Structure 1
Amino acid sequence: MAQLTRFLAFLTFFVIYAGHCQQVGVLKYGGGGDWYSNPTALPNLIQFCNENIDTKLDAKPETIEVGSVSIYQFPLIHMTGHGNVFFTNEEAENLRNYLLSGGFLHIDDNYGMEPYVRRELKKVFPNRNLEEVGADHPIFSQKFNFENGLPKIHEHDGKRPQALGIFEEGRLILLFTYESDLGDGWEDPEVHNDPEDVRLKALQMGANIVEYAFKN
């Protein structure tokens, strides 16, 4: 039954992807965390991608709920926030089928998500753990090269930035960026007053994520 569910999900993804392959979704999740934070981040990243890596992404990302069948419209879904995250069992199953059928989830910790993300991902993939994504992974050498891996954008707890992932048959299907805060670097300049070179690094890394998700 599980195999049949994944197969049907794959067919749904394939059919919808063919007609809607230029959209990015924002994941709306339960638990009270601010899934809607960084409102200018994705529109700025989308504009940067369209201008620099030849994408034709819709200018405005679309909000999508974890348990919705519409999740299969999006080759790439972005998730962020500061606090609690909660998936029902049905939502976890839907997210698992989405990822196994070709989707990609980028979770960017805006600060404070990490323990909740780890807990809820155990519902999605009970037998898997987040693995560190090495600096030699292709996601760091798409259009832009990051020899040292994930860049540090904002300082929170003095920890090094970490790219953590879940893989399926060698393909990275979920990326959790922790202690980096890429989304803050994507926001309008006046929001965080980041230097331009810091914002550029964040946007370039974001473009690499988009490019990898759409190509793989």
Structure 2
Amino acid sequence: MRSAECGINARPSIPHSAFHIPHSASLTIGRLHYDGGGDWYAGPSALPNLLAALRQRTALAVAERERVVTLTGPELWDVPYVFMTGHGNVRFSDEEVTRLRRWLEQGGFLHADDDYGMDKSFRREIARVFPDHPLVEVPLSHPIYHLVYDFPRGLPKIHEHDGLPAQGFGIFLGTRLVVYYSYQTDLGDGWEDPDVHHDPPELHEAALRMGVNLFTYAVSATR
């Protein structure tokens, strides 16, 4: 990996036409409040810690707290990056499917992080959003693994659980990655306060670095 001091020297160019984000406003992450019974609220310290890392390591104007969003509410259009996680079932209504598709087509970025339990239902629901664009493994050459910090082996493995390798899947619209699915890693758990899961410092750091790459890509990718 590059040194911890490696960052963004200039704020990426961020299109504002699709989102209700004034040029003077701070960017933030939307935490998706979804239906189906899964614990969408899991890991309460994760996103504040990632946002703190973004403020410290990049030139992005980033807020201190995430914003809870739904797929049918106007607040979805206030954020460029939406994070969803959980251990249980995910269910989108037909209206939510349509609105999520539109938001992604118009510049949004969805990061789904399987906290060991939502894999089957997330794959089912995202296939409803883009039935003609299946999840594919994101190649190791993709900028998401190299934009700020270098991950030549791809997504870092944070929690072992069943010992399977971490994998990063995605959905592309043209050349733009619009959905990123971190699987078999618990990336969000790695962002949490170190005393929550007692992760060693190097894993906490790897998780934050990957999160910095993800958010930076989301706000700077060509739309």
Cα deviation, 1:60-108, whole Å, max 9, x if unaligned, reads: 1010012223211111111111110000000010000000000101001
Deviation digits for residues 97-130 of structure 1, max 9, x if unmatched?
A: 0000001010011111110001001211122210
Task: Check the 8 A contact 2:90/2:125 in 1, yes or no.
Answer: yes
> Structure 1, residues 136-183: CA drift from partner, whole Å, max 9, x if none?
100000110000000000012221101000001110001000001111
Q: How many residues align?
A: 207
Counterpart CA distance in 2 for 1:166 and 1:39 is 27
The equivalent of 1:25 in structure 2 is 30
- The aligned counterpart of 2:40 is 35
Distance 1:189 1:205 in 2: 16
RMSD: 1.6
Q: 1:88 is aligned with what amino acid?
A: S
**TM-score normalised by the chain length of structure 2:** 0.89
Match of 2:118 among 113, 117, 129: 113
Alignment-derived partner of residue 102 in structure 1: 107
Are the structure 2 counterparts of residues 22 and 150 from structure 1 closer, same or farther at C-alpha, using a change threshold of 3 Å? same
Are 1:133 and 1:164, in contact at CA under 8 Å, matched by a contact in 2? yes
- Is 1:151 paired with 2:139? no
**Contact 2:46 2:191 (8 Å CA) reproduced:** yes
TM superposition shift of 1:17: 5.9
Match of 2:201 in 1: 196
CA distance in 2, matches of 1:194, 1:15: 37
Gaps of 5+ in 2: 1-14
Q: TM-score, normalised by structure 1?
A: 0.92
Distance 1:28 1:149 in 2: 28
Residues in 2 aligned to 1:64 and 1:15: alpha-carbon distance in whole angstroms: 14
